[in-house]
Amino acid sequence: MIWDVLGKLLHAFLVVGLVLPLMAALMVWAERRVSAFMQDRLGPNRVGPAGLLQPIADVLKFIFKEDVIPGHVNRVMYVLAPLMVFVPALIVFSVVPYARGMAIAPLNIGILLVFAVSSLGVYGITIGGWASNSKYSLYGGVRASAQMISYELALSLSVIPIFLVTGSMNLESVVAWQAQNVWLLLPLFPAFIIFLVSSYAETNRLPFDCPEAETELVAGYHTEYSSMKFAIFFMAEYINMITFSALVVTLFFGGYTLPFLELPAGLWGTVLSGCIFAAKVSFFLFLFLWVRWTLPRFRYDQLMDLGWKVMLPACLVLIVCTAGVRAFIWPG
């Protein structure tokens, strides 16, 4: 019993405390390298092989920077805000089955937990923007709350067809369903597009990075943050990217499985499934970078229009259609 709990804790610590931050660090490196190659530059290539240790140097720099708390801020909120963004980002990953039989918390309400927790992150951003007591931060915070609430809606609704089709909210069973039948991407392609676009908005990545919008709001909600507090905001963004890529893969691309590939039993099967999952996630992480370095930024009102007038109705139509198909044509 006690070993069981300890084992689970260790598992959680390893994945959430070690692997995710490392992945985030790797993503920072990838972002800089990939953008550099897209832009005919080299990017960081001095620290370690191919600049791989650059994120570590960055973290060290952040740690040694003076931790400035401006005099005009609300201290408690100001300090709490980065954590309120960072912690939900870490928690969300716990329900994702990242290899066969491997998820920190294989809950049967998995996807609900994702939405419940990930929507907490917006509080951190809004409070950070408000507590900074600076106009640019405030605008960033207000934009963030409006944007994330709008897109949360589309995001959650786009997942409903999946429940209708697979009959489960447990991510593990969604994967199992896809392994048996077909990747959900094919029957639910519109849902996939909506989910993908909304996840860009959820993670505040271009073309939806209005809350940061460095050329408009200087740095948006984290204008007044420095040192590790800024770094935590920064890490949270990358961890969110990883989580949402993992969710896309799990929900629409068969998770850790491959079609026509029988995973061998035992440890090697688990490792192989983990590798498959990692490869798929990497592709979507690359997509995040690719989009960011290609597209310009939406204007705030255009982004709201897209959310409310296009994505939301599309979601509703899709849900009705899926339900209809499920009820009359293909009941099961």
Partner 1 sequence: MSTQVDIVLDRPQQPSEHQILNMGPQHPSTHGVLRIILELDGEIIVKATPVVGYLHRAMEKIAESMTFHQFLPYTDRLDYLAPLANNVALTTAQEKLIGVEIPPRARAIRVLAVELSRISAHLLGLGAFAMDLGAMTVFLWTFRERETIYNLIEHLTGARFTTSYTRVGGVANDLPEGFIPELRAFLDEFPARVDDYERMLTSNRIWVERTKDVGVITKEDAISYGLTGPNLRASGVEWDLRQKRPYLGYEDYDFDVPVGSVGDCYDRYLCRIEELRQSHGILLQVLDKLPDGPVLTPRTHVSLPAKSETLRGMEELIYQFILITEGQDAPPGECYFAAENPKGELGFYFRSKGGGYPDRMFIRAPSFVNLQILERILPGGFISDVVAILGSIDFVMGECDR
Binding residues vs partner 1 (CB under 8 A): 35, 38-41, 135-136, 139, 206-207, 209-210, 213-218, 293-302
Which residue, 221 or 256, is less far from partner 1 as judged by CB? 221
Which residue, 126 or 156, is less far from partner 1 as judged by CB? 126
Q: Please, what is the minimum distance in Å from the beta carbon of residue 147 to partner 1?
A: 12
For residue 273, CA distances in Å to 180, 268, 278 come to 15, 8, 9
Which residue, 19 or 38, is less far from partner 1 as judged by CB? 38
65: which 2 tokens?
């920077």
The angle at the Cα of 304, spanning 299 to 306, to the nearest 5 degrees, equals 95
140: which 2 tokens?
């960033």
Which residue, 195 or 300, is less far from partner 1 as judged by CB? 300
Identify the sign of the CA torsion 160, 166, 168, 171.
negative
Cα 43 to Cα 261: distance, rounded to the nearest angstrom: 38
Q: Please, what is the minimum distance in Å from the beta carbon of residue 35 to partner 1?
A: 7
Q: Please, what is the minimum distance in Å from the beta carbon of residue 91 to partner 1?
A: 30
Q: Please, what is the minimum distance in Å from the beta carbon of residue 302 to partner 1?
A: 6
- Please check whether residue 17 is in contact with residue 113, taking contact to mean a CB–CB distance below 8 angstroms: no
Q: Please, what is the minimum distance in Å from the beta carbon of residue 199 to partner 1?
A: 17
Reference 62, options 19, 20, 28, 12; nearest CA is 28
Which residue, 67 or 216, is less far from partner 1 as judged by CB? 216
**Residue 221 carries which DSSP code?**
G
Which residue, 174 or 194, is less far from partner 1 as judged by CB? 194
- Please check whether residue 202 is in contact with residue 210, taking contact to mean a CB–CB distance below 8 angstroms: no
Cα 70 to Cα 101: distance, rounded to the nearest angstrom: 47
Q: Please, what is the minimum distance in Å from the beta carbon of residue 301 to partner 1?
A: 7
